[in-house]
Amino acid sequence: MINIFKLPTLVLLFLLAGPVSVMADEATGQRAVLITGASTGLGRAMAELLAAKGHFVYAGARRDSDIAELSAIENIQGIRLDVTVQEDIDAAVKTITEAGRGLYGLVNNAGVAVLYPLIEIDEEEFDFQMDVNLYGPYRVTKAFAPLIIESKGRITTTGSISGILSGPLFGPYSMSKHAMEAFTDSLAREMERFDVTVSIIEPGNYESKIGANIAARLKARGFSTEGSLYKEDLERMMGWLDGDQISGDPQEVAEAARKALFDDNPKRRYMVVPNQRQADVTIGKAIEELVQLNQDQKYSFSRDELVKMLDETLAANP
């Protein structure tokens, strides 16, 4: 006989509740998706695309004007959601639960970028970077996991090719996006027992407000290169942020999110870049890391063995 008092709480709740019943709004057949950071940029493109495809989107935003603007779009309900504020997250869970549609998809899209030398950045700015990009997805995923498990749904996170690459001044941002790589792989293994699929989207440089937001935050905090060991790097960065950045159409990233949420056989990773160069440097960096890991270690593989492993992996991931 099973001692139910020794079962994990989540499993016990499933046994007591009976079979899963909520995958879509019974009246409309719509599947509901929550997207954080949906007021502008990639999140806005995702929200509009999914809504146009007939899905119901809860679009997370912080400002009243953005919430109202999003709610005016068919199939979208703007919802107050600052991923750094637990009260907002709890209220969003309550709102979505009481709406009765369930929740099939979660897109952890809200993010910020803090660009500064690692040995000069102050702790407050570093904390801000991690609070949004690292703790944000953790908080939101934890809060909405019961609804996603109930619907046997999907979770995806907007990462970045900066989760593979990094460089001068990108340390804090890249660290937060590298963390999402581990978050995705670990969460995927933990959620597969509940038939929940987890993925990550790796955009390159796409049109969004993130560059302007970086510059605005730096200026608001009294940005100065005086006394910095990286004066030229910082001045070049600020010129780039203030200038016309070459970037791709965010609809490409929105389409990747749609595939991650609704394709029959979703992938773990979706790299989406606007040009060949960004693809080259990202894949090249991943290969470089593989070579460095294999170099001069007790169990190193030969070139032929590595090629065989690559062929086998390609065959397993057509």
- If DSSP codes are grouped into helix, strand and coil, which group holds residue 297? coil
CA–CA separation, 139 and 91 (whole Å): 13
The ranges assigned to domains in the chain are 22-274
pLDDT digits (tens, 9 = 90+) for 113-123: 999 999 999 99
* CATH class in words for 22-274: alpha beta
Q: Considering the entire predicted model, what is its pTM?
A: 0.87
Exposure b/e, 221-250, CB count within 10 A at least 16 = b? eeeeeeeeebeebbeebbeebeeeeebbeb
Kindly list the catalytic residues. 173
2 falls in which pLDDT band (50, 70, 90)? Answer: very low
Q: Which helix (H) or strand (E) holds 110?
A: none
pLDDT digits (tens, 9 = 90+) for 205-234: 887 667 677 777 777 777 788 889 999 998
User: Over 90: is that where the pLDDT of 13 sits?
Assistant: no
243 falls in which pLDDT band (50, 70, 90)? Answer: low
pLDDT digits (tens, 9 = 90+) for 132-161: 999 999 999 999 999 999 999 999 999 999
Report the relative pairing of strands 105-108 and 154-158 from DSSP bridges.
parallel
CB neighbour list of residue 257: distance below 8 Å, 6 or more residues apart = 46, 49, 50, 107, 109, 156, 158, 201
What one-letter code names the amino acid at 307?
V
CB neighbour list of residue 61: distance below 8 Å, 6 or more residues apart = 37, 38, 39, 67, 70, 78, 79, 80, 81
